[in-house]
Structure 1
């Protein structure tokens, strides 16, 4: 039996995550594995695929988790080194549950587990994690079951073939592609996926090293893109790709070394899918640029706006039978990839679009960048609700409309400008995002709203 308060700190809304040796150790993940398997056994499931990233602690934790799973009579397929979207591929093609050991973009001392059911259906707080937590608090009684078996399977080449089968790239013009794997799992998957493609790949930090000796594997933070930006220009590359630690997110840099907005990438990929699947639905979260629903509508598709967070996106993908979905954080979701996210598949779509034109990437992407954005600005706030109410009260004369889908989203009068303020689920933070036609407008709105938040 385990303490609920301690579990609350580690078993979060979407995954399990904490500091190795303090929050997470082999005994802990063995119990998580047993609780997950107990839940699956009640649902008549029989198998769990387990993958892990390159963090020093990951192989041992994956093995301990497997012991917990097999103790409940379920079988384990050990995939070994694996990107998160590679684990989703296994859960989809093998039609079994999955567990991925990674802490994504977090620093080296962290690790965690992303869980899914067969078909890569996510396991979140409302869809299994709360039950797992309850089972760990109550204690899982020994059961008279025959222990499950453990087999090992390498699916990397199958994963590469599957992705390449979804995006036609062999007829692309030759491209020089700079890739920063950040010593993460992109260094494992990129060589396999790109092996048969007409690209000259220039690798940066491909050595698998979970201590992240060069920079953090978090390309959402601009400082972690600096090396790739310089590298693209030095190499004369046509495009730069930056993957996070578990390679489920991909950020793009153009030939000039300038970052490309994930919203612009979302709009580009949405347009490609609507050419293939006319009139279908595209999901976007409420912080993506207005460009995304505009492009979707202009190309005959149906845009559906959702809250921030992969569990909401994936639920909406399934509910609306959407062909594609995107987030401002560079998570991209694909119906033909079991509604799961894949940074690699998103990268292939961008390369396909670039490979079909003689334009440089900066020129290609200009049509998908209609507005200026602030990026996410965080403020430490004790009373988040009171701050949001103060913003609405003090800006009332300038507000055209407000919605409360996720925090407050405000459309300002007489302009295309809007902003969203929402509370963090895990920290005493308010997150501000602003978009407007010009940089000056963005700056003015940011200054006004932050003046209220930080007063």
Structure 2
């Protein structure tokens, strides 16, 4: 029995060839069918050059397991989430490696109701069945059909805003040659049909799995320049950039400045609480002060969850939260089946800019000044555990609070930090914030990184 190393905590991701290939994808399809016993499963794939063949293999595995398959074609992850619930299917599979390097691909799996399947909710069982590879003979193949849900999906997206509130604005939208382009085209067509005076300037909008302008991953500073340049050249009011499967969106203000996801969480929480006072908002432990302040001021209830989509979705369902946000630019919505979407956030921010008459820069500037943060800093370390322990023992004794909800969070009166090992990459992630003191921010960041990387 061969060990499959492509199975991670939340999804399946691996290097093409040895860790993930068509044979393994077929076995995952068979295992998914055997474990869940679904009647109908929705499949989709991103624009990577290997996604089509891997999707075909996983589809064959499902069909051989007697499962009916609805193939959505080339779509982003959230289109699979949407279709699974909208079509009342028993599960969904998206073939994607999101922002991973060129030689990777992967699969994201959900069950009925678009609920995530992660290590503790079925992924380990699917892995075991795929590794054993002892499937019964094919007795009845499932039925295969192709179907698009694009129109219904875009209608759902636009239900989050009131198009009558939108004013003449120009937006730069960079799809990074990933999967977002066709959705942006469909939204643009709807704007025109509804006489919405918003102009979309599209950058790298055509899907191209060879990624001629680099892997779409705007969280890396080197991948932001094309969006910044276009915002400045066009005199745009806002810039939006997506990762490969567009489950995350990244925002740039009218001056081309990248806005950290952390400040967007507070902004969206406030926007939801204006519409639904008293609602519950989920946040993650990495950066928290701005979110807590805005939720409290807006009369909402802030509830902490571990980072990672399966934890946040579970917590949102448990407490019936209206919105959940991670500083990594994942935003979750109750009315989107508690799933994350990269399309809903920019539409909400667009409406906010129009209804307040303030630019995106003006909307976040008070938060950025009140709680400065250098953004997430990653360190590749030989012994992550020892390094984290070293930092902990140096800072813990004088702290006013220490928490172990997700990695370690240590808090002082005027600054705090969170240190955690990544669930998806071999790195330790540092997040730090202060109460309005950029000098202290730089000083403490430098101290902790020096200790961490000794």
Specify the TM-score bucket, using the shorter chain as the normaliser. Answer: over 0.9
CA distance in 2, matches of 1:125, 1:48: 20
Indicate if the aligned counterparts of 2:165 and 2:351 stay in contact, CA closer than 8 A: no
Structure 2 Cα separation of the partners of residues 242 and 61 of structure 1: 26
Matches within 5 A, 1:271-310: 271-310=270-309
CA distance in 1, matches of 2:379, 2:138: 53
Instruction: Say whether the 8 Å CA contact 2:373–2:441 is kept in structure 1.
Output: yes
Match of 1:372, SS?
coil
**Which of the residues 408, 431, 434 maps onto 2:432?**
434
Query: How far has the Cα of 1:396 moved from its partner?
Result: 4.5
Residue 287 of structure 2 is aligned to residue 323 of structure 1: no
Which secondary structure does the structure 2 equivalent of 1:88 belong to? helix
- Residues 426 and 153 of structure 1: is their aligned pair in 2 closer, same or farther, counting only changes over 3 Å? closer
- Secondary structure, in 3 states, of the residue corresponding to 1:176? strand
SS at structure 2 position matched to 1:409: strand
Aligned to 1:23: 19
Unaligned runs of 5+ in 2: none
Q: Please give the residue correspondences for 1:100-119 in structure 2 after superposition, counting only pairs within 5 Å.
A: 100-119=94-113
Partner of 2:395: 395
Residue pair 2:285, 2:307 contacting (<8 A) in 1 also: yes
Gaps of 5+ in 1: none
1:217-366 equivalent positions in 2, closer than 5 A = 217-366=216-365
Runs of 4+ in 1 over 4 A off after TM superposition: none
Over 3 Å counting, the alpha-carbon distance change for 1:431 and 1:120 in structure 2 is same
What is the deviation of 1:365? Answer: 2.1
How far off its partner does 1:427 sit? 4.9
Shift of 1:148: 0.5
Structure 1 residue 305, shift from structure 2 partner: 1.1
Secondary structure at the counterpart of residue 378 of structure 2 = strand
SS of 1:28's equivalent? Answer: helix
Q: Could you tell me how far apart the structure 1 residues matched to 2:127 and 2:66 are?
A: 20
| TM-score calculated relative to the size of structure 1 | 0.95
CA positional deviation for 1:426: 5.1
Q: Give the match's secondary structure for 1:441.
A: helix
| CA shift for structure 1 position 170 | 3.6
Q: Offset at 1:129?
A: 1.0
Give 1:25 deviation, angstroms: 1.6
Q: Is the 8 A contact 2:396 2:402 kept in 1?
A: no
User: Which residue matches 1:181?
Assistant: 175
- Among 117, 121, 124, which residue is 1:127 paired with? 121
1:144: how far off? 5.7
Superposed displacement of residue 442, structure 1: 0.8
Per the alignment, in what secondary structure is the counterpart of residue 72 of structure 2? strand
Is the CA contact (8 Å cut-off) linking 1:187 and 1:208 kept in structure 2? yes
- Give how far 1:308 is off: 1.4
**How far 1:29 sits from its partner (Å)?**
0.5
Alpha-carbon distance in 1 for matches of 2:285, 2:108: 24
Q: Distance in 1 between matches of 2:46 and 2:258?
A: 26
Deviation, 1:390, is: 2.1
- In structure 2, what is the equivalent of residue 213 of structure 1? 212
Contact persistence 2:395–2:410 (CA under 8 A): no
User: 1 CA distance for matches of 2:425 and 2:176?
Assistant: 26
Find the aligned partners of 1:277 and 1:357 in 2 and give their Cα distance.
Answer: 17
Name the SS for the 1:356 alignment partner.
Answer: helix
Aligned to 1:200: 199
In structure 1, the residue corresponding to 2:299 is in which secondary structure? coil
RMSD between aligned alpha carbons?
Answer: 1.5
Deviation, 1:143, is 4.2
Aligned residues: 446
Q: Find the aligned partners of 1:216 and 1:55 in 2 and give their Cα distance.
A: 10
**How far apart, in 2, do the equivalents of 1:154 and 1:396 lie?**
54
